[in-house]
């Protein structure tokens, strides 16, 4: 029977990592123009440092410059079979690194933006400086609803809780934020939620030796997130993760789809997006997509609009999960882990205890002290 690591590796074959091919000479003989650090630079730095570290078996040698690494890999066709297999294994391990430390926890937790309730607000401490605290989330929800005119940014359905408040205050003369009567759409309203674009758990701190710090898995996740946009972390650093630029108003159903990276926002113009399922041939369509929406803005931008950069990162992650097959792999993995939690452990070793332990360790993304 294959060892646990071998089983895990086999399940990831073909996910993200393509088949090995010799490097075309023209790809690395061109002299790139000098420019600022880009997401491509960040990816190459992480990718090649990981590969070289695995090939050399010594992380201290991973700092080789890119030209030296490419020169070394240029001889791939003349390598021994063992050396070629080692490179292939290092690519699979890089895939595991990305999935285990970023894509899987992100996909598992992204749809779990806590929704503030009166009870949670009454129990909360007075300080509201922490990340994801009830006060901050309540303020975020209020600001997003005002900015988005109490409507889902995709379906334009009105928030039923706000409609009920206005009905109690104004009777059947209740109106929406633009002054139009709400009576014609009284049977089309729904409960709305605030949805983080980048999960707030990515920035929450964990108590380490009595001090609030970022846990190691989150530091790794930050490094990977920088591959998508070098400015990503500054945009959501600290409590900025709970600012309106990192949030949207969505229905409960669309919040779930958005959090699972099954729908995305493709930027096509100023504050305008094509919103569609990431999988174009999806058969089960709980929402009527695609649609094109221009997001609402508040007068004088008193409440910041959703960040174009963050929505582009979300869309890029969603496309990678779909096109690489990693999304389906992660969904199957999460279902397997849920079944393990619900049932007994098999004595024959088929219960994947090693995977389950790793799965529970990912709960660190949800455990936070501020």
Residue-level pLDDT, tens digit, the chain, 370 residues = 344 344 444 444 444 444 444 444 444 444 444 444 466 677 777 888 788 777 776 544 445 567 777 787 888 888 889 888 888 898 889 888 888 888 888 887 765 555 555 444 444 443 445 565 788 889 999 999 999 999 999 999 999 999 999 999 999 999 999 999 999 999 999 999 999 999 877 777 666 677 767 777 788 888 888 888 888 899 998 888 999 999 999 999 999 999 999 999 999 999 999 999 999 888 888 889 999 999 999 988 899 999 999 999 999 999 999 998 888 888 888 888 777 766 665 555 555 556 656 666 555 555 443 3
Residues near 256 by beta carbon (within 8 Å), at least 6 away in sequence = 111
pLDDT at residue 221 in the model:
86
Residue 118 placed within a domain: no
pLDDT at residue 10 in the model:
40
pLDDT at residue 107 in the model:
81
pLDDT at residue 322 in the model:
93
Residue 309 placed within a domain: no
Residue 65 placed within a domain: no
pLDDT at residue 28 in the model:
42
Residue 53 placed within a domain: no
- List the one residue out of 336, 330, 334 whose CA is nearest residue 317: 330
Let me know if 148 is exposed, middle or buried by CB neighbors in 10 A (0-12, 13-18, 19+): buried
Residue 340 placed within a domain: yes
> In angstroms, rounded to a whole number, what is the distance separating the alpha carbons of residues 28 and 254?
43
> Number of structural domains, the chain?
1
> Looking only at Cα atoms, what is the longest distance across the chain?
81
> In angstroms, rounded to a whole number, what is the distance separating the alpha carbons of residues 124 and 113?
17
- The DSSP secondary-structure symbol of 345 reads P
Residue 160 placed within a domain: no
Q: Write out the residue range of the structural domain in which residue 336 sits.
A: 330-365
Let me know if 213 is exposed, middle or buried by CB neighbors in 10 A (0-12, 13-18, 19+): middle
Residue 47 placed within a domain: no
Residue 106 placed within a domain: no
Instruction: Please list, residue by residue across 168-201, b when 16 or more beta carbons sit within 10 angstroms of its beta carbon and e when fewer do.
Output: eeeeeebebeeeeebeeeeeebbebbbbbbbbbb
- The DSSP secondary-structure symbol of 240 reads G
């Amino acid at each position: 029977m294959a060892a646990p690591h071998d089983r895990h590796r086999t399940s990831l074959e073909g996910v993200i990592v393509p088949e090995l091919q010799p490097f075309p000479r023209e790809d690395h003989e061109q002299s790139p123009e000098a420019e600022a650090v880009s997401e491509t630079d960040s990816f190459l730095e992480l990718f090649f440092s990981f590969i070289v570290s695995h090939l050399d078996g010594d992380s201290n040698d991973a700092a080789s410059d890119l030209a030296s690494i490419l020169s070394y890999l240029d001889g791939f066709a003349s390598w021994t079979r063992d050396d070629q297999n080692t490179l292939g294994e290092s690519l699979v391990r890089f895939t595991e690194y990305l999935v285990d430390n970023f894509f899987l926890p992100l996909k598992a937790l992204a749809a779990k933006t806590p929704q503030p309730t009166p009870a949670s607000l009454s129990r909360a401490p007075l300080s509201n400086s922490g990340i994801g605290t009830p006060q901050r989330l309540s303020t975020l929800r209020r600001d997003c609803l005002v900015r988005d005119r109490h409507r889902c940014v995709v379906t334009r359905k009105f928030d039923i809780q706000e409609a009920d408040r206005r009905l109690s205050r104004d009777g059947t003369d209740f109106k929406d934020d633009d002054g139009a009567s709400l009576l014609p759409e009284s049977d089309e309203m729904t409960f709305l939620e605030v949805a983080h674009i980048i999960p707030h758990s990515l920035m929450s701190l964990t108590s380490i030796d009595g001090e609030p710090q970022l846990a190691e898995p989150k530091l790794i996740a930050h490094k990977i997130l920088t591959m998508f946009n070098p400015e990503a972390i500054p945009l959501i650093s600290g409590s900025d993760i709970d600012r309106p630029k990192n949030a949207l108003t969505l229905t409960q159903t669309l919040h779930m789809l958005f959090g699972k990276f099954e729908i995305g926002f493709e930027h096509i113009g100023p504050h305008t997006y094509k919103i569609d399922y990431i999988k174009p041939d999806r058969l089960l369509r709980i929402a009527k997509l695609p649609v094109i929406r221009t997001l609402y803005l508040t007068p004088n931008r008193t409440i910041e609009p959703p960040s174009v950069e963050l929505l582009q990162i979300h869309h890029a992650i969603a496309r990678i999960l779909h096109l690489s097959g990693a999304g389906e792999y992660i969904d199957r993995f999460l279902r397997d882990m849920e079944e393990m939690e619900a049932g007994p452990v098999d004595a024959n070793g088929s219960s994947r205890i090693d995977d389950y332990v790793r799965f529970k360790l990912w709960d660190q993304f949800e455990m936070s002290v501020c």
